[in-house]
Amino acid sequence: MVCVQLLFQQMGDLKEKNRCLSAVNQEQGRQLQEELSKRGFSSEADAICAKLQLRQELEQLREELLLKDEQLRALAAKFGRFRKAYEDNYQRATDDIDKLDTMLERVIETLEAEPEAVSSCPALRQLLHNLRGGGAGDAASTPSGDNLSNRKMPTAL
């Protein structure tokens, strides 16, 4: 992190030096134009100054392009990290759902293996009914009936 901050500081220093050099170049171009105008070379002075100005503009555009490219790379890296975190979280959630589904299937199998105990206990009877998806309110389908292994990760990112 300190290395990155140092690089940003150096980049800022270099940009400041570049701005100073541009100002010096503009002043020297103005002085050169005045000197050439005094000697009768005004049209050539204008052409030379125009070339110098174009070079300065080109250098500024290059600098802006490098800055934008740097920002784009930083955003791409950030996006990559967020995408990786999203994919990891999604995978963990999917694994947890699979584990819970397996547990529910085992509970159903266990209850079905003990029909006498279930029939003699209204709470167990209601639990089995709810686990099978009947009248549970929030359990709309049988856990074992869902094919959860066929889940696909959303492709929104």
User: Which contacts of 103-111 are long-range, i.e. CB under 8 A and separated by 24 or more positions?
Assistant: 104/131, 104/143, 104/144, 105/143, 105/144, 107/131, 108/132, 108/143, 108/144
Angle (CA) 9-11-15 rounded to 5° is 115
- Asked whether residue 94 carries a pLDDT value surpassing 60, the answer given is yes
Higher-pLDDT residue of 148, 5: 5
Q: Output the pLDDT for position 50.
A: 80
Per the confidence metrics, is the pTM higher than 0.75? no
Contact 139, 131 (CB under 8 A): yes
Closest C-alpha among 142, 132, 98, 141 to residue 112: 132
Interatomic CA distance for residues 154 and 157, integer angstroms = 8
Q: Output the pLDDT for position 42.
A: 64
Task: Give 8's pLDDT tier (boundaries 50, 70, 90).
Answer: confident
**Mean predicted confidence (pLDDT) in 15-19:** 82
Angle (CA) 115-118-121 rounded to 5° is 150
